[in-house]
Structure 1
Amino acid sequence: MIGRSRRDAGQAFPIYVVMVAGLLFLVFAFFAVGKAAALRNGAQGAADAAALAAANEMRRNYEKGFLASLPEDLLSQYLQRHPTIGCIAAEGLASANQADFVDCRETLGGRRDRVTVDVEGRKTVDSSVLPGSENTRAKAKATAEVEFLCDWTSVDLNDDSIRDVFYFTCEDGFLEIRPSSPPPWDQVSKILYDVHLVDN
């Protein structure tokens, strides 16, 4: 009887070892998956920040071209075709969020210009249960849009008193701009243009 108990215990021990090893593997696997998800979220946050920074830089650079494009016929042409310089701001924001800048693309869209940024996280998953994870880094992409929010308001251009004043109806209210003495662009541009993330 005692001999059988010892044999049963001896046979059960390898099973316990396998079960414990399996549980440990699952724990490490769940940890690796959780770490990978966290790194992916971090990379996405870096991509979002970089895309928004690039879009805001684009909006800042619109000032001279926008003011020079008035009146309406030239403004319409300007909205369809103008230089966009925003990607230079994306690299710094990606780095500040522990990611490496990979690529940036700007696309003109008339009243909606877009910038898409690709980044790669700096930390690796590096899990012993996931082969190759020591070189695996999270990648993410984000797109931000600069949307023109206003419509031209017609005025009598024969009236000399308003010859140099241009009027717009915007989502946030009425706006007038005098190119010879324009209001601060950092204030006006936020009424003229909205910056936001969009789905890729």
Structure 2
Amino acid sequence: MTRPRRHGDAGQAFPIYITVVGGLLFLALAYFAVGQATVNRSGAQTAADAAALAAAQERRDQLAGQWVKDVLDPAKWQRIFDGSGQALSSPCWRASELASRNYARLLRCQPNGPLSYTVDVETSKSMGKSVVPITERKHSKAHAEAVITGRCEFKPLPVNPGSDALPRLTCKGGKYWDIDPKDLTDLPKPQDLFDVHLAD
């Protein structure tokens, strides 16, 4: 009696093995491509957040500088805290600088009201080579908005001819300033006057 030959079964299993290994390899490369794209998008969002905050912080510093300049004229204080004081230079150069530091370029930077800045950026680097050919030329884009909010309040003093007193400036965190018009050495810093944060 002759035993059946099994060489044919082994030969049939080899192509199946190659197909399965090839499929798994393709899936691994696809997951790698997805990971590359995710990292690239995350980098774009980091750059957008940094750029928006930089623009808002630059505007905060400008407003704080304007407040110091007009500190002896309390009638102008509220307009400065509302962001509607004297015309100031655009802070978008700071947004462009921070986007560049985070390997992105600034596509748009504009005010969204007197105390808010909106930016759009695009990554300098593409998503890289992968099994998906289009990713080699694809750059991630991201959007962010930063908001400036006043930290301080004051009550206007009653009109008193001959008086040069200034209102008490009360700020968050229990800080306050009784400003002496004859000694302006102890004034609040920009971060005492305004908060800067990303919009929700």
TM range (shorter): 0.7 to 0.9
Q: In the TM superposition, what are the counterparts of 1:30-109 in structure 2 within 5 Å?
A: 30-66=31-67, 67-68=69-70, 70-72=73-75, 74-78=76-80, 79=82, 81-82=84-85, 83=87, 85-109=90-114
- Residue 117 of structure 1 corresponds to which residue in structure 2? 119
**2:48·2:119 contact (CA, 8 Å) conserved in 1?**
yes
Letter of the 2:127 partner, please give it.
V
Question: Separation in 1 of the partners of 2:47 and 2:17?
Answer: 45
Larger CA deviation: 10-19 vs 77-86: 77-86
Question: Gaps (5+ residues) in structure 1?
Answer: none
Aligned residue-pair number: 193
- Residue 12 of structure 2 corresponds to which residue in structure 1? 11
Cα distance, 1:179–1:90 mapped onto 2, change above 3 Å: farther
- Residue 128 of structure 1 corresponds to which residue in structure 2? 130
**1:40·1:138 contact (CA, 8 Å) conserved in 2?**
yes
Letter of the 2:97 partner, please give it.
G
Shift of 1:178: 5.7
Q: As a proportion of its length, which structure holds more strand?
A: 1
Cα distance, 1:39–1:178 mapped onto 2, change above 3 Å: farther
Question: Separation in 1 of the partners of 2:181 and 2:13?
Answer: 87
CA deviation string 1:106-141 (max 9, x = no partner):
1225xxx11111111122123332131111111111
Aligned alpha-carbon RMSD (Å): 2.6
Larger CA deviation: 45-54 vs 23-32: 45-54
Letter of the 2:172 partner, please give it.
E
CA deviation string 1:9-47 (max 9, x = no partner):
222111111111110111111111111111111111111
**1:127·1:133 contact (CA, 8 Å) conserved in 2?**
yes
| TM-score normalised according to structure 1 size | 0.82
Percent of pairs identical after alignment?
Answer: 38
Larger CA deviation: 151-160 vs 13-22: 151-160
Shift of 1:176: 3.8
